[in-house]
Chain A
Amino acid sequence: MQVTTIALIGGIYSNYHALLATLADIDRRGADCAFFLGDLGAFGPHPNRVPELLIERGIAGIQGNYEESLSSGATDCNCGYTDPRDNHYAQISYDYTAENTSDVYKRWMGTLPRAMRLEANGRRILLSHGSPRKINEFLWRSTSPDPFLRRMCDEYEADVIVCTHSGLHWHKRLEDGRHVINAGVIGRPANDGGTNVWYTMLTVGDDIRVEFLPIEYDHGALASEMRAERLPEEFIETIETGWWTTCLEVLPAKERAAGRF
């Protein structure tokens, strides 16, 4: 039986330092292929560097809400927040990213697909950003029960659904052997007090294996650049401490209780 390894890179949020470290790790492990899942910009500095790197390395991927908004000239990120404080910080991120992303990359973002279907060893894999049905839907572990995920796998005719957007990685194997994976993000830490970020390796052979891989990167350099770009101190604190300080109100009870703020 052939075994296929697929590297999945969730939201990058302009963290090109983490992207470089992730790509090096993927190369070292010799993955068969790698895909990005959208939200290339936001939060971090110098938003041209991520699309530049992805294009240069020939990595394929899909649109997130950020790419949809930037390529269509929208005035906000359509992140899906409802709380005023969440929206306040989301707007700072978006305005900075929109202003500092070249038109050529915005146009390229507009050409990215909303979803991708892969097939490995007869398994149908669907890559999405928020969820297969909605680009900015948040799929959290504690609010994505199995019956709901099963319905989604049925509706979208997939054996493996992959998403990102929420920022926290998780994996559920359903009773019928199908899988739903939130690949996490490499843009900011996972609100766990560690400065590392996470990407996902999917191995499809006789069975399906999902590994979440921690990536250490030069977060000090990222923090310095964010300061130089006058990005909010709250964002920098997250990079330096591993705890989320903004865009938290959207977290369900369990995920909120696990963080410091």
Chain B
Amino acid sequence: MTTIPHVPMRALDTLWFQVAGTLCNIECTHCFISSSPTNRSHGMLSLADVEARLREARELGVREYYFTGGEPFMNREMIPILAATLKQGPATVLTNGMLLRKSICRELRELIDASEYSLDLRVSLDGFDRESHDAIRGAGVWERAMIGLRNLAEVEINPVITVTEAADGIRSDEGRARFLDLIRSFGFTKPRLKVLPLFRIGAEEKRTRAYADWERIDIMNESDAEVLQCSSCRMVTSKGVYVCPILIETPEARMGSTLAETLRPFPLRYGACHTCWVEGVSCRT
């Protein structure tokens, strides 16, 4: 029998919010939680929900906050939620860029100027052009993401462009250079790019394949486990607090209702854990 390695909870540095639940305005073929316009597996978080966890996070000394979905800007309270968060620490929002209208961008600019902490927007792209991007994200998505990026550029918010390995050649120098050129074409003189691997769960499991049985972590020292983000993060959804942003559709990954209840080791028995381990993944910016 194989022993399942456990990741210790080193310190709660990073707190994630599944702020739009699994609701999204698009349906990407690689989404590891199959977010879509109809997926209500996890619900929206209200400002009050977020504030309750922020209070707890302040006591625990959390360093930074991340917001994802679904599409966070589908949450009508997103701006007040960010305003509350930025009083307490730095924040990052993961978005597909499609709802970044001029008025929202102006509000984001005001939040940035008013806070002593950093606010980062992470905009997801899956191709250098309409054809490759829309093949993953759906027809018309490229066009709207481009408008969102132009609106950000107009208020001088320099986003981090996040690209998954579904994008052709992104791990090569040439592929990176093409993306950096694309980012510069909006007038961003300091292009920022982050590449993420794919998780073979959710929609991605159908697009390519599921994890094989051998794709599990077998041996690990506790000190090695400290590089895993789950040693320093937790994820808040409408259903409770989960170990990490990836495993929210794994019922056993729900660790409690409050942050304090989840500050304990977690067994790394899932295929996605293997991806984080071998790829050295961090969902942080």
Q: Point out residues on A near B: beta carbons under 8 Å.
A: 82-84, 133, 140-145, 147-148, 150-152, 154, 248-249, 252-257, 259, 261
Q: Point out residues on B near A: beta carbons under 8 Å.
A: 11, 13, 57-64, 88-90, 112, 116-120, 156, 158, 173, 176, 189-190, 192-193, 282, 285
Q: Given A144-B63, A148-B13, A150-B61, do A82 and B120 touch, yes or no (CB 8 Å)? A: no
Cβ–Cβ < 8 Å partners of A255 in chain B: 118
Report the separation of the CA atoms of residues A254 and B10 in the bound assembly, to the nearest whole angstrom.
27
Q: Given A145-B88, A252-B118, A252-B120, do A151 and B158 touch, yes or no (CB 8 Å)? A: no
Chain B's nearest CB lies how many Å from the CB of A253? 4
Cβ contact within 8 Å between B63 and A253? no
Chain A's nearest CB lies how many Å from the CB of B108? 11
Cβ–Cβ < 8 Å partners of B190 in chain A: 248, 256, 259, 261
Between B60, B117, B189, B285, the greatest number of chain A beta carbons within 10 A of the residue's beta carbon is seen for B117
Report the separation of the CA atoms of residues A151 and B62 in the bound assembly, to the nearest whole angstrom.
9
Q: Given A84-B176, A249-B192, do A142 and B118 touch, yes or no (CB 8 Å)? A: yes
- Give the residue name and chain of the B residue nearest to A252 (CB): B118
- Give the residue name and chain of the B residue nearest to A248 (CB): B190
Interface of A is mostly: helix
Instruction: Point out the residue from B63, B189, B192 that lies within 8 Å of A145, measured CB to CB.
Output: B63
Chain A's nearest CB lies how many Å from the CB of B262? 17
- Give the residue name and chain of the B residue nearest to A249 (CB): B192
Cβ–Cβ < 8 Å partners of B119 in chain A: 253
Cβ–Cβ < 8 Å partners of B158 in chain A: 253, 256-257
Between A141, A148, A249, the greatest number of chain B beta carbons within 10 A of the residue's beta carbon is seen for A148
Cβ contact within 8 Å between B90 and A252? yes
Report the separation of the CA atoms of residues A147 and B13 in the bound assembly, to the nearest whole angstrom.
10
Report the separation of the CA atoms of residues A252 and B248 in the bound assembly, to the nearest whole angstrom.
27
